[in-house]
Structure 1
């Protein structure tokens, strides 16, 4: 099974950053159809809307054209070279549907923008330079765009709604299999961004903290998107430090059991000398707030990690983001959504997003799919995909 973890690092954080070319294809073990139908429903309220489908095939970046054919950008002679053609897929007017035939591809994104088109570039390799919400020089910085993610290989179609990077205009997903099975992820409701930004501002005002710094406004002064806290990690400094200290202190005197939910099974750990040590030899120094929010730095870095460590990291990171590690020494068993984010200092971005999701499903941090059973992640999958419908909703 493919997890969104394959998509970690997939957002261009600067205009000239190649990203999709760094992702790996998922393994294949069954025979899906050669293509599925992407159905784009324009409920954005805008008569001018475009979609872009971009990903990898055989380690080559490609865009899917309106007619379902593939455009493989050649490797340019210089960085940040404009694409050789316009791969945008025009959407119809409000309420209309546009269908596109999608071939097998992986590490892919479905971008949607209203009002004007997006600008994509290509670096030598070739590597696609994706729209950036962090680089002020990016021509897309002030545009109303958002995305969903998918991988489609011989085993399955996996698609998800992600708020790991930011919240902007909401999307909803519905996947109908050829067998007739339907999986739906409603996502945030239309116009949810303003409420999220208000809640972030209120949290910042109560605490005198930096949650309001996650809000990005457009040239008109209105809310355009809300970023995940790990993009402003320096502004949060030691925000979770007290909670993390409490956890490390508790597990110096009692066992922490982490179920890897895989071959290694349940592993027992204790803190000794300030280091959380598991019986198999894996050791974790105390993470910083930035390590927790990113899920991929300090002791949570995946670089050079063993398979067992890669199974422990998500469960520790999830429990710290949800601030349940202190109260639950048997991770992730017994984890229920009603217990998440109850600590005064917690990942309030994730809390605020989840509070507005009608079914509580959507990735608000990279390991939001960690669960003893119930799905918190907002992912859908099928081994016989027929139609993936993307509902493009209003920003406000």
Structure 2
């Protein structure tokens, strides 16, 4: 049940191909991005507990895993062990309620964690940092209220997002201040959105309410993502089977056309099912990749039978399939990706978790699953010459 940091940055490690669109950056970008940038943390939580901040990730210049201190200085993790051993204390005390504080972000691909009232228990295994795994009831952080943002800061700029790929918990927004003085933000909930999400999920039934985790005193801590619901038996492993089977049946006699790059519509792949396999061909008719019929876990996790390597063929096709399965719009449009939000989540059995996350966002944008960036429905901000990044933690209401 343990997961290491190097494998779960789905939202920020696709910097070169966000939403299937290749990004190009001018030659002056390297000079525009210093080694560290200010990161302003504002505590609007109205909670009296100490706020702890962690800046963890991979140093891009060396490829080493470690943490950044308040000054942005990199510290490599020492070697781990099996069973995992406690990691060095990387906590930074955050601002008091109603206050702000500024630390510095180094050039990382990583995460900024925050927790209330208790430090996060991080461990080091032989493979690297072990992240909290809330699908594991024995995780030492199971009763700690925490969350995280994901970011990449490199020579091409800053990408920073809020994420609900693994869980929906303590709310926050992220932002980037640009050289012209304007600020881009993402991740804002509607008024009452935090409680409305949990109330709606609780009322859904069908096992979806079992995704909600509570502290010993009954207060809500988080909702885990549906992949973990399937893995832990809270959701049926056959939850999406009917829809998956209908998709596979449709494309035995109909062609699924995938145009994965919004800025290059001439690149198309054509999918048809034979047996339990969907084969994709290119414009010349050559098979370029194939997918065995996925199961619910593969769909919710965008992995396993829907694996998406960081290439320019299988990965982009898989991202498109994954988004179509989670949004359940593969039957209504044979040309994918269908990125109109009006077509999303219309099936009675769909990714209810992601649907309800999006419903509570001010702008409708979130990372409800790993490839929610297909069609730019993700809660991400980017700038090539960032002046300052920010995070504002919000009240739980």
Task: Give the TM interval when normalised to the shorter protein.
Answer: 0.7 to 0.9
Aligned CA distance change for structure 1 residues 242 and 259 (closer, same or farther; 3 Å):
same
RMSD: 2.4
Q: TM-score, normalised by structure 2?
A: 0.86
- 2:58 aligns with 56
Alignment of 1:100-139 (within 5 A): 100-106=103-109, 108-124=110-126, 127-139=128-140
CA contact (8 A) 2:111 2:148 kept: yes
- Deviation track 1:110-135 (CA, whole Å, cap 9, x = no partner) reads 1111112222222346x222233233
Distance in 2 separating the partners of 1:225 and 1:210: 15
- 2:157 aligns with 156
- 2:6 aligns with 20
- 1:67 aligns with 71
- 1:345 aligns with 349
- 1:210 aligns with 207
**Shift of residue 103, structure 1, vs aligned partner:** 1.6
Q: Does 1:168 find its partner at 2:169?
A: yes
CA contact (8 A) 2:122 2:130 kept: yes
- 2:325 aligns with 320
- 2:100 aligns with 97
Aligned CA distance change for structure 1 residues 26 and 164 (closer, same or farther; 3 Å):
closer
1:265 partner SS: coil
Distance in 2 separating the partners of 1:329 and 1:384: 39
Q: How many residues align?
A: 369
CA contact (8 A) 1:353 1:364 kept: yes
Q: Does 1:88 find its partner at 2:94?
A: no
Distance in 1 separating the partners of 2:350 and 2:8: 31
Instruction: Tell me which moved more, 68-77 or 143-152.
Output: 68-77
* Structure 2, unpaired ranges of 5+: 17-24
- 1:5 aligns with none
Aligned CA distance change for structure 1 residues 245 and 22 (closer, same or farther; 3 Å):
closer
**Shift of residue 25, structure 1, vs aligned partner:** 9.9
Distance in 2 separating the partners of 1:138 and 1:274: 37
- 1:46 aligns with 47
- 2:362 aligns with 358
2:213 partner SS: strand
Aligned CA distance change for structure 1 residues 248 and 123 (closer, same or farther; 3 Å):
closer
* Structure 1, unpaired ranges of 5+: 1-12
Instruction: Tell me which moved more, 266-275 or 382-391.
Output: 266-275
- 2:254 aligns with 254
- 1:3 aligns with none
- 1:284 aligns with 291
Distance in 1 separating the partners of 2:92 and 2:278: 50
- 1:241 aligns with 241
- 1:231 aligns with 228
Instruction: Tell me which moved more, 317-326 or 263-272.
Output: 263-272
**Shift of residue 152, structure 1, vs aligned partner:** 0.8
**Shift of residue 284, structure 1, vs aligned partner:** 2.2
**Shift of residue 252, structure 1, vs aligned partner:** 2.1
- 1:7 aligns with none
Distance in 2 separating the partners of 1:154 and 1:173: 20
- Deviation track 1:309-349 (CA, whole Å, cap 9, x = no partner) reads 1110010110111011000111114x311221011011000
Distance in 2 separating the partners of 1:212 and 1:182: 37
- 2:303 aligns with 296
CA contact (8 A) 1:112 1:147 kept: yes
Q: TM-score, normalised by structure 1?
A: 0.86
Aligned CA distance change for structure 1 residues 239 and 21 (closer, same or farther; 3 Å):
closer
Q: Does 1:330 find its partner at 2:316?
A: no
Instruction: Tell me which moved more, 90-99 or 143-152.
Output: 90-99
- 1:310 aligns with 315
